[in-house]
């Protein structure tokens, strides 16, 4: 969310990250090149397909995989500037508005859907266990997703409480799914700084009606969802 009126952080764009504070959307993280393929394979070899008991006693962010999602990989989606753009300022092209309570008063948030988001969500919902993981607060994210998720394909919602300890960055190892079968799509590379080899990059979106990045990603995600890809990190390290 941008152009925020009330001085209360609601969306992921209002949360400081460990990266460049001055230009979140245009910043890029200087990540060292990945190690040789043989070394990466050795690093992931000890991992198992199913979740292991957590030795620290800490809770996983997600519950056990539902029976209908077993055999599917996990796709984690960011919300703001990845799937939608929202603002407290009036947006005449808004697809919908949501009321958000801030300090006892309700304010309208105007939301524009990224082109192709409906078709994108429908298709990934057929292929993946879909999780929206955002640094937005739930009182903003929940009503937004209630209207955005018209196909009812978002199986889990994770909000600021799940990632705030890492200054807005996502620790995929805490999600509770096999990392070899976990993919994240986020417009901000700082958000997946812990697991860049699991990310499918996408540019920040604000209002371009001719944007087609979500639709362009569908064939990529169809390929990654297949059984021929046993470790997404090895493919994404090389391909993207």
- 78, 178, 186, 231: the catalytic one is 78
**Exposure string (b/e) for 190-226, b if CB count within 10 Å is 16 or more?**
bbbbebbbbbbbbebbeeeeebebbeebbebbeebbe
- 14, 80, 178, 186: the catalytic one is 80
| Catalytic-residue membership of 78 | yes
d(CA 101, CA 225): 39
Alpha carbon 155 to its chain centroid, in Å, reads 13
Reduced to 3 states (helix: H, G, I; strand: E, B; else coil), residue 11 is coil
Query: Read out DSSP for 94-141?
Result: -SEEEEEEETTEEEEEEEEEPTTHHHHHHHHHHHSEEEEE-SS-HHHH
Catalytic residues: 78, 80
């Amino acid at each position: 969310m941008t152009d925020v009126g009330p001085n209360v952080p609601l969306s992921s764009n209002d949360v400081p990250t460990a990266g460049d504070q001055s230009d979140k959307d245009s910043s890029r993280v200087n990540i060292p090149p990945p190690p040789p393929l043989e070394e990466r394979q050795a690093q992931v070899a000890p991992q198992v397909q199913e979740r292991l008991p957590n030795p620290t006693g800490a809770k996983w962010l997600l519950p056990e995989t539902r029976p209908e999602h077993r055999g599917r990989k996990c796709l984690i989606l960011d919300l703001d500037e990845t799937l939608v753009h929202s603002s407290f300022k009036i947006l005449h092209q808004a697809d919908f508005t949501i009321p958000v309570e801030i300090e006892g008063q309700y304010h309208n948030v105007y939301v524009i859907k990224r082109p192709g988001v409906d078709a994108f969500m429908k298709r990934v919902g057929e292929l993946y266990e879909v999780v929206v993981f955002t640094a937005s607060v739930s009182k903003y994210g929940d009503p937004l997703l209630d209207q955005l998720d018209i196909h009812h394909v978002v199986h889990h919602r994770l909000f600021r409480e799940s990632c705030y300890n890492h200054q807005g960055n996502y620790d995929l190892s805490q999600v509770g799914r096999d990392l070899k079968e976990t993919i994240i799509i986020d417009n901000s590379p700082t958000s997946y700084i812990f697991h860049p080899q699991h990310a499918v990059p996408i540019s920040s979106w604000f209002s371009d009606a001719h944007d087609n990045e979500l639709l362009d990603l569908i064939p990529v995600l169809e390929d990654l969802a297949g059984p021929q890809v046993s470790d997404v990190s090895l493919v994404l390290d090389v391909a993207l």
